[in-house]
Amino acid sequence: MGTTQLESVPEPKYWQLRTALTEALDSEFSVGEILPNERDLAARFGVARATLRQALEQLELEGRLQRRRGVGTTVAPPRVGVAVGAEQHTWPGAADDAWLPTDCVLAPPPAAVADLLETGRDEPVHTVRRSRTTHLQPVATELLYVPRRSVPALPAIDTPSGTARARAVLRELQRLPLDGQDQSVELGSAGAEDARELDRLPGAPVLLVTTRFCTAGRTAAVSMATYRADTCRLTFGAFGGVEIHHDPQRHAS
Protein backbone atom coordinates (compact mmCIF):
# COMPACT_ATOMS: atom_id res chain seq x y z
CA MET A 1 0.00 0.00 0.00
CA GLY A 2 2.85 2.31 0.86
CA THR A 3 4.27 1.64 -2.57
CA THR A 4 1.02 2.41 -4.34
CA GLN A 5 0.78 5.72 -2.52
CA LEU A 6 4.36 6.55 -3.36
CA GLU A 7 3.69 5.84 -7.03
CA SER A 8 0.52 7.87 -7.16
CA VAL A 9 2.19 10.95 -5.67
CA PRO A 10 5.84 10.75 -6.72
CA GLU A 11 8.19 13.02 -4.82
CA PRO A 12 9.89 15.56 -7.06
CA LYS A 13 13.50 14.81 -7.90
CA TYR A 14 14.86 17.88 -6.07
CA TRP A 15 13.08 16.74 -2.95
CA GLN A 16 14.59 13.25 -3.14
CA LEU A 17 17.97 14.89 -3.68
CA ARG A 18 17.39 17.19 -0.71
CA THR A 19 16.87 14.14 1.48
CA ALA A 20 20.03 12.47 0.16
CA LEU A 21 22.00 15.70 0.69
CA THR A 22 20.67 16.04 4.25
CA GLU A 23 21.95 12.58 5.05
CA ALA A 24 25.33 13.41 3.50
CA LEU A 25 25.50 16.62 5.56
CA ASP A 26 24.73 14.69 8.74
CA SER A 27 27.30 11.98 8.14
CA GLU A 28 30.15 13.49 6.12
CA PHE A 29 30.34 17.22 6.79
CA SER A 30 30.87 19.41 9.82
CA VAL A 31 29.73 22.96 10.52
CA GLY A 32 31.59 25.58 8.49
CA GLU A 33 32.92 23.08 5.96
CA ILE A 34 32.79 24.14 2.31
CA LEU A 35 30.76 21.89 0.03
CA PRO A 36 32.21 20.60 -3.25
CA ASN A 37 31.32 22.76 -6.25
CA GLU A 38 28.01 22.34 -8.05
CA ARG A 39 29.48 20.41 -10.97
CA ASP A 40 31.06 17.80 -8.70
CA LEU A 41 27.97 17.54 -6.49
CA ALA A 42 25.67 17.12 -9.49
CA ALA A 43 27.94 14.39 -10.85
CA ARG A 44 28.12 12.57 -7.52
CA PHE A 45 24.34 12.40 -7.16
CA GLY A 46 23.71 11.91 -10.86
CA VAL A 47 21.39 14.91 -11.26
CA ALA A 48 21.19 17.97 -13.48
CA ARG A 49 22.66 21.24 -12.20
CA ALA A 50 19.18 22.82 -12.09
CA THR A 51 17.91 20.03 -9.84
CA LEU A 52 20.93 20.40 -7.59
CA ARG A 53 20.37 24.13 -7.27
CA GLN A 54 16.75 23.59 -6.26
CA ALA A 55 17.80 21.14 -3.56
CA LEU A 56 20.50 23.53 -2.32
CA GLU A 57 17.90 26.29 -2.11
CA GLN A 58 15.69 24.04 0.05
CA LEU A 59 18.55 23.41 2.42
CA GLU A 60 19.28 27.12 2.56
CA LEU A 61 15.64 27.81 3.49
CA GLU A 62 15.93 25.18 6.20
CA GLY A 63 19.05 26.84 7.57
CA ARG A 64 21.30 23.83 6.84
CA LEU A 65 23.44 25.57 4.23
CA GLN A 66 24.79 29.09 3.80
CA ARG A 67 25.76 30.50 0.43
CA ARG A 68 28.20 33.33 0.61
CA ARG A 69 29.76 35.27 -2.22
CA GLY A 70 33.40 34.48 -2.73
CA VAL A 71 33.29 31.64 -0.22
CA GLY A 72 30.89 29.14 -1.71
CA THR A 73 28.35 26.96 0.03
CA THR A 74 29.12 26.04 3.62
CA VAL A 75 27.43 23.90 6.24
CA ALA A 76 25.52 26.31 8.51
CA PRO A 77 25.76 26.27 12.29
CA PRO A 78 22.48 25.69 14.15
CA ARG A 79 20.20 28.73 14.15
CA VAL A 80 20.49 31.13 17.04
CA GLY A 81 17.42 31.60 19.24
CA VAL A 82 16.61 35.34 19.33
CA ALA A 83 14.11 36.49 21.97
CA VAL A 84 11.37 38.47 20.26
CA GLY A 85 8.30 37.97 22.45
CA ALA A 86 7.04 40.92 24.39
CA GLU A 87 6.50 39.18 27.72
CA GLN A 88 8.54 41.75 29.58
CA HIS A 89 6.08 44.49 28.69
CA THR A 90 8.74 47.15 28.42
CA TRP A 91 9.20 49.97 25.95
CA PRO A 92 11.92 49.80 23.32
CA GLY A 93 15.11 51.20 24.81
CA ALA A 94 14.50 49.84 28.33
CA ALA A 95 17.53 48.80 30.35
CA ASP A 96 17.90 45.22 29.04
CA ASP A 97 17.11 46.07 25.43
CA ALA A 98 19.14 44.12 22.86
CA TRP A 99 18.85 46.85 20.21
CA LEU A 100 21.35 49.58 19.42
CA PRO A 101 19.99 52.91 18.15
CA THR A 102 21.88 54.20 15.11
CA ASP A 103 19.84 57.08 13.77
CA CYS A 104 16.65 59.09 14.10
CA VAL A 105 14.87 61.27 11.57
CA LEU A 106 11.51 63.03 11.44
CA ALA A 107 9.66 61.76 8.37
CA PRO A 108 6.22 60.61 7.22
CA PRO A 109 5.93 56.84 7.82
CA PRO A 110 4.57 54.28 5.32
CA ALA A 111 0.80 54.71 4.89
CA ALA A 112 0.00 51.49 6.80
CA VAL A 113 2.00 52.70 9.80
CA ALA A 114 0.35 56.13 9.67
CA ASP A 115 -3.05 54.41 9.79
CA LEU A 116 -2.01 52.33 12.82
CA LEU A 117 -0.65 55.40 14.59
CA GLU A 118 -3.73 57.41 13.59
CA THR A 119 -1.49 60.16 12.34
CA GLY A 120 -2.17 61.90 9.05
CA ARG A 121 -0.47 60.31 6.06
CA ASP A 122 1.78 63.30 5.50
CA GLU A 123 2.49 63.92 9.18
CA PRO A 124 6.14 63.34 10.06
CA VAL A 125 6.87 60.98 12.98
CA HIS A 126 10.11 60.23 14.81
CA THR A 127 11.69 57.30 13.00
CA VAL A 128 14.37 55.58 15.06
CA ARG A 129 16.63 53.16 13.23
CA ARG A 130 18.13 50.43 15.38
CA SER A 131 20.20 47.32 14.82
CA ARG A 132 20.62 44.10 16.73
CA THR A 133 23.61 41.80 16.78
CA THR A 134 24.19 38.36 18.29
CA HIS A 135 27.69 36.93 18.64
CA LEU A 136 28.97 39.98 16.71
CA GLN A 137 26.79 39.09 13.70
CA PRO A 138 24.05 41.48 12.54
CA VAL A 139 20.75 39.62 12.98
CA ALA A 140 18.10 42.30 12.61
CA THR A 141 17.34 45.90 11.68
CA GLU A 142 14.41 47.92 12.92
CA LEU A 143 12.50 51.07 12.17
CA LEU A 144 10.63 52.32 15.23
CA TYR A 145 7.91 54.86 14.48
CA VAL A 146 7.00 57.22 17.33
CA PRO A 147 4.39 59.95 16.75
CA ARG A 148 5.15 63.34 18.26
CA ARG A 149 2.19 63.08 20.64
CA SER A 150 3.91 60.09 22.37
CA VAL A 151 6.98 62.15 23.31
CA PRO A 152 5.62 65.66 23.94
CA ALA A 153 8.49 66.69 26.22
CA LEU A 154 11.18 65.88 23.66
CA PRO A 155 13.56 68.84 23.33
CA ALA A 156 12.79 70.40 19.97
CA ILE A 157 15.96 71.66 18.42
CA ASP A 158 19.33 70.79 19.88
CA THR A 159 19.93 67.38 18.21
CA PRO A 160 17.61 67.11 15.21
CA SER A 161 18.81 63.65 14.12
CA GLY A 162 21.40 60.96 14.74
CA THR A 163 22.10 58.58 17.61
CA ALA A 164 21.71 61.19 20.35
CA ARG A 165 18.28 62.07 19.00
CA ALA A 166 17.32 58.38 18.90
CA ARG A 167 18.31 57.99 22.55
CA ALA A 168 16.29 61.05 23.50
CA VAL A 169 13.15 59.69 21.78
CA LEU A 170 13.55 56.29 23.49
CA ARG A 171 14.12 57.97 26.85
CA GLU A 172 10.96 60.08 26.52
CA LEU A 173 8.95 57.01 25.49
CA GLN A 174 9.69 55.39 28.88
CA ARG A 175 7.59 58.06 30.59
CA LEU A 176 4.36 56.74 29.07
CA PRO A 177 2.40 53.98 30.81
CA LEU A 178 2.61 50.85 28.60
CA ASP A 179 -0.76 49.10 28.39
CA GLY A 180 0.31 46.22 26.21
CA GLN A 181 1.65 45.19 22.86
CA ASP A 182 0.94 42.75 20.09
CA GLN A 183 3.06 41.28 17.36
CA SER A 184 2.95 39.58 14.03
CA VAL A 185 5.52 37.53 12.13
CA GLU A 186 5.58 36.95 8.40
CA LEU A 187 7.95 35.98 5.63
CA GLY A 188 9.45 38.71 3.47
CA SER A 189 12.43 39.59 1.36
CA ALA A 190 15.14 42.01 2.42
CA GLY A 191 15.05 45.47 0.88
CA ALA A 192 18.31 46.91 -0.45
CA GLU A 193 19.08 48.91 2.69
CA ASP A 194 18.23 46.13 5.14
CA ALA A 195 20.16 43.63 3.02
CA ARG A 196 23.26 45.80 3.20
CA GLU A 197 23.01 46.08 6.97
CA LEU A 198 22.36 42.37 7.43
CA ASP A 199 25.17 41.36 5.09
CA ARG A 200 22.76 39.66 2.67
CA LEU A 201 21.79 40.19 -0.95
CA PRO A 202 18.62 42.19 -1.67
CA GLY A 203 15.67 39.82 -1.78
CA ALA A 204 17.10 37.34 0.74
CA PRO A 205 14.36 35.72 2.85
CA VAL A 206 13.75 37.54 6.13
CA LEU A 207 11.28 37.28 8.98
CA LEU A 208 9.32 40.50 9.43
CA VAL A 209 8.18 41.23 12.96
CA THR A 210 5.70 44.05 13.56
CA THR A 211 5.15 45.16 17.15
CA ARG A 212 2.49 47.62 18.20
CA PHE A 213 2.88 49.35 21.58
CA CYS A 214 -0.31 50.64 23.15
CA THR A 215 -1.03 53.29 25.74
CA ALA A 216 -4.43 54.63 26.82
CA GLY A 217 -6.19 52.64 24.11
CA ARG A 218 -4.08 54.08 21.30
CA THR A 219 -1.00 52.99 19.41
CA ALA A 220 1.95 54.81 20.97
CA ALA A 221 4.65 53.36 18.71
CA VAL A 222 5.11 50.79 15.96
CA SER A 223 8.26 48.75 15.44
CA MET A 224 8.97 47.04 12.12
CA ALA A 225 11.89 44.68 12.47
CA THR A 226 13.61 42.58 9.83
CA TYR A 227 15.38 39.41 11.05
CA ARG A 228 17.72 37.23 8.99
CA ALA A 229 15.71 34.09 8.27
CA ASP A 230 18.80 31.98 7.59
CA THR A 231 20.42 32.34 11.00
CA CYS A 232 17.56 33.26 13.38
CA ARG A 233 14.94 31.30 15.25
CA LEU A 234 12.55 33.76 16.89
CA THR A 235 11.57 32.80 20.42
CA PHE A 236 8.49 33.82 22.38
CA GLY A 237 7.65 33.09 25.96
CA ALA A 238 8.86 32.94 29.51
CA PHE A 239 10.83 29.70 29.30
CA GLY A 240 13.48 31.06 26.97
CA GLY A 241 14.44 29.62 23.61
CA VAL A 242 13.09 26.27 22.54
CA GLU A 243 16.17 24.36 21.45
CA ILE A 244 14.80 22.06 18.85
CA HIS A 245 15.51 21.20 15.26
CA HIS A 246 12.65 20.76 12.81
CA ASP A 247 12.97 17.89 10.38
CA PRO A 248 10.56 18.22 7.46
CA GLN A 249 10.91 14.49 6.79
CA ARG A 250 9.26 13.60 10.09
CA HIS A 251 6.27 11.30 9.85
CA ALA A 252 3.57 10.47 12.32
CA SER A 253 3.36 6.87 11.25
* Residue 1 contacts its own copies per CB under 8 A: no
Four-point Cα dihedral 181, 86, 185, 247, nearest 10: -150
Smallest separation, CB 29 to its own copies (Å) = 19
C-beta closer to its own copies: residue 9 or 156: 9
8: how many CB neighbours lie within 10 A of its CB?
A: 7
* Residue 229 contacts its own copies per CB under 8 A: yes
Which ranges constitute the DSSP H helices of 29-135? 38-45, 49-61, 111-117
Smallest separation, CB 32 to its own copies (Å) = 20
CA proximity to 91, closest of 185, 209, 150, 170 = 170
113: how many CB neighbours lie within 10 A of its CB?
A: 22
Q: Which of residues 27-86 bind its own copies (CB under 8 A)?
A: 54, 57-58, 61-63, 79, 81, 84-86
Give the one residue of 56, 190, 220, 221 binding its own copies; rule: CB under 8 A.
190
Smallest separation, CB 6 to its own copies (Å) = 9
Four-point Cα dihedral 166, 170, 173, 174, nearest 10: -160
Give the one residue of 34, 43, 98, 107 binding its own copies; rule: CB under 8 A.
107
C-beta closer to its own copies: residue 155 or 248: 248
Q: Say how many Å lie between the first and final Cα of the chain, rounded.
A: 14
Q: Which of residues 201-220 bind its own copies (CB under 8 A)?
A: 201-203, 205, 207-208, 210-212, 214
